[in-house]
Amino acid sequence: MVGHAAHHGGSWKVAYADFVTAMMAFFMVLWIMGLSDETKASIQGYFNDPAGFMKNPPHSQVVIPQPGESRTMQKSASTKGSGKSNFKGSDPDEEKDTSYVKHKVETQMKKMKQQGHVIVTETSEGIQIEFLEDVTSVFFETGSATISPLGKKVIKEVVPIVKDTGRYLVLEGHTDLKPYAGTEYTNWDLSTQRALAFQKELARSHQFDKRFKEVRGYGDTRLKFPKKPFAAGNRRVALLLPWGKKPGKTNHVKIENNATRQSLGPKGNQMENFLLQVPKDAHL
């Protein structure tokens, strides 16, 4: 009997440990799949560039409904802003717009390796796309309202996405708390001129006639990172797509097709690539 036990030894413990490890990995995958796209992007951004991510961490508003409180109530509640939101409740079209803008912007910025600098969030006023600077000045020349070549490329990628929603556009400029020394030029000037520069660059595409609603300059009064008032991420331009009435038509076909691809995940993209390679006269 002793020889029989010695024959098996402790190999079963190794097998059991492998099983437990595999199960833990499996449940971690399930957990990650259940996270929001924004959370996934943040995790990916950290592992792609830990140092850059910590210097300029993304920031978004996470709303946890209280007992008996619906998501609609949360969206309708007032937040820091102009209070001009026309949103009256949860609208399927607005949900489609949000998902479409978020997915497309994050996908394009990932291709351009600027994922941590362009953040899409949903606010009480509408869909907000923020373009955050860092210590190297990404979208503007240092200390000026001159858009950089990279900034122009990013705007060019965003134009068709914004156009497809058919929504009005509001531009907001923000700065950090660091003042200009010894000049009459202030953070108010810089934030307003940067927002105007963004508006003019968007207008050059000639796709937004009568779509611009406001251009706002907030200076250093609305810091994105209040606990780090001098952080580079406070210097930003926000493009807001307000809820409510639209001046143009939404491209629902494109948005719905995109939503379908999202729901299919990687398989949807594989199928799309397959169909693109199939000859037009082929019978499927």
> At 232, is the secondary structure helix, strand, or coil?
helix
pLDDT value of position 264: 55
Q: What pTM was computed for the model?
A: 0.60
- CATH top-level class for 38-250? alpha beta
pLDDT value of position 63: 39
> At 229, is the secondary structure helix, strand, or coil?
coil
Tens-level pLDDT at each residue, the chain (284 residues): 555 555 556 788 888 888 989 999 888 888 877 777 667 767 766 666 665 555 555 544 433 344 444 444 344 443 444 334 444 445 777 788 888 888 888 888 888 887 778 889 988 899 999 999 888 888 998 888 999 999 999 999 899 998 888 899 999 999 999 887 777 889 999 999 999 999 999 998 778 878 899 999 999 999 999 999 999 889 999 999 998 888 877 776 677 666 565 555 555 555 445 444 545 454 44
**Concatenated DSSP letters of 6-68:** HHHTTHHHHHHHHHHHHHHHHHHHHHHHTS-HHHHHHHHHHHH-HHHHHHS--------PPTT
pLDDT value of position 218: 94
- Boundaries of every domain in the chain: 38-250
> At 190, is the secondary structure helix, strand, or coil?
helix
pLDDT value of position 235: 92
DSSP 234: G
Q: Is 169 exposed, middle or buried (0-12, 13-18, 19+ CB in 10 A)?
A: buried
